[in-house]
Amino acid sequence: MHAPAVTTGRDLRLDLFRGIALWLIYLDHIPSNVVSWITIRNYGFSDATEIFIFISGYTAAFVYGRAMRERGFVVSGARILRRAWQIYVAHIFLFAIYMAEISYVATSFENPLYAEEMNILDFLKQPDMTIVQALLLKFKPANMDVLPLYIILLLLFPPVLWLLLRWPMLALGSSLALYVLTWQFGWNLPAYPEGSWYFNPFAWQLLFVFGAWCALGGAKRLAPALQWPATMVIAILYLGFAFVIAMSWYLPEQISIVPHWLEDLIYPIDKTNLDVLRFAHFLALAALTVRFVPRTWPMLGSWILYPAILCGQHSLEVFCLGVFLSFAGHFALVEISGAFWVQVAISLSGIAAMIATAALLTWYKNLEGRSPGQRSKSPDADLAGGEA
């Protein structure tokens, strides 16, 4: 990995892989979607969420790290909090759309076979409680867990960034210690009506802080280790192991290729608390990617990858659009047809809509004289190319 010197331009690989992660998250969020078989969660332990959170940490440190060096703690901290606020507003907007969909289902679908499933609508009976809990980020409908995680991570980011700029190893060590303590003591934030957060912020912060650490010189430190053949061998072996385990999920119960002692050892693979197996799987993927996709890879400038890069450069808007489109896509599958070709058509047109929206946003930015990937004179670092 090349050292992302704080003054040089943007690493397009970040945009590329974040864009791809956004597409995969969209595909995974449409239930019973044939196309979601291509996404990485089916072939190993980690999924697109890890990529998204890591790159978000990386870009946040890249953008706000520079701001903190140039303008100080207060200014950069204020910008980070403004970003957190924007994401909060986006999350509440998505919640409103979710409410609209679920209310429609509540009034139009009265199949007696599903009387029990209709209890999902119980919260409509007590909107006071539900809406307040949603505003507090405690009530989160299915598939709406990533943005609240992102909000918490950004809220806590100013002091973390401060520490990362001074004593990077201490910051990373503290993050790791928090992760270990979280596993030890089972810390998490409470959710409504019961349980706790689906993405435990105290565990997932490790990935975010690790991304930030890489952006602020950590990647440079790791670069020699990534060149060792041993690193590659271990990464490939581990990915192969994860692949075999993942394949065993799709075999009939009668054929068990995984020995019992191994099952006892690895299961459950805990997504809520960012299981070590998932984290390691992401690291192995990242190590291979960094090795085989150099920063100067010519394809990064080609038109084939441009759509994904565009989406990655407007990640918040495209992410929100993806959540909305996955609701809408499922709605269409239910109301029109769930046929194979409809699933494919909805998947492709959703991605096309994400690309078109990203292109439109770039057009707007260009109108205002700022283009992605280019540092503008405006101090508005978080809205210029380096969207965190």
Partner 1 sequence: MKAFIALVLAVSALAGRALAVDPPSCAVPDSLFFVDSNLNRVTTAVGKQHRLAIAVFGTGSSTLAGADGPSLAYPARLEVALNQRLSNVMIRVATRTKVGQTADGMRRNMKDLLTDEKPDLVIWQTGTVDAIRRAELDEFRAALEAGVDTLHTGGADVMLMNMQYSPRTESMISVGPYADEMRAVAQQRDIPLFDRFAIMRYWSDEGAFDFYATGKDNGLAQRVHDCLGRAIGKLVIEDGHLQTFVNKASQ
Closest CA to 121 of 91, 141, 136: 141
Indicate whether 196 belongs to the interface with partner 1 (CB under 8 A): yes
* Residue closer to partner 1, measured from CB, 72 or 127: 127
Indicate whether 193 belongs to the interface with partner 1 (CB under 8 A): yes
* Residue closer to partner 1, measured from CB, 111 or 184: 111
| Interacting residues with partner 1 between 112 and 131 (CB under 8 A) | 112-120
Interatomic CA distance for residues 36 and 19, integer angstroms: 16
Among 291, 295, 297, 338, interactor with partner 1 by CB under 8 A: 338
* Residue closer to partner 1, measured from CB, 83 or 271: 271
> CB neighbours of 84 closer than 8 A, spacing ≥ 6?
151, 154, 155
Find the shortest distance in angstroms from Cβ 258 to partner 1. 10
Find the shortest distance in angstroms from Cβ 249 to partner 1. 8
Indicate whether 265 belongs to the interface with partner 1 (CB under 8 A): no
CB neighbour class for 225 (10 Å; exposed up to 12, middle 13-18, buried from 19): exposed
Q: How many residues bind partner 1 (CB under 8 A)?
A: 46
Radius of gyration (Cα) for the chain, nearest Å? 21
Residue 256 is given by DSSP the state -
Crossing angle of the two packed helices 48-71 and 12-29, in degrees rounded to 10? 140
The three-class DSSP label of residue 184 is helix
> CB neighbours of 315 closer than 8 A, spacing ≥ 6?
18, 19, 22, 52, 56, 387
Indicate whether 259 belongs to the interface with partner 1 (CB under 8 A): no
Q: Which stretch binds partner 1 (CB under 8 A): 84-92, 274-282, 331-339, 348-356?
A: 331-339
Indicate whether 296 belongs to the interface with partner 1 (CB under 8 A): no
| Interacting residues with partner 1 between 94 and 113 (CB under 8 A) | 101-102, 105, 108-113
Interatomic CA distance for residues 120 and 132, integer angstroms: 17
Indicate whether 143 belongs to the interface with partner 1 (CB under 8 A): yes
Residue type, 60: A
Among 31, 73, 174, 221, interactor with partner 1 by CB under 8 A: 31
Residue 224 CB neighbours (<10 A): 9
Q: Which residues bind partner 1 (CB under 8 A)?
A: 29-32, 101-102, 105, 108-120, 140-143, 191, 193-196, 198, 252-254, 263, 267-268, 270-272, 326-327, 330-331, 333-334, 338
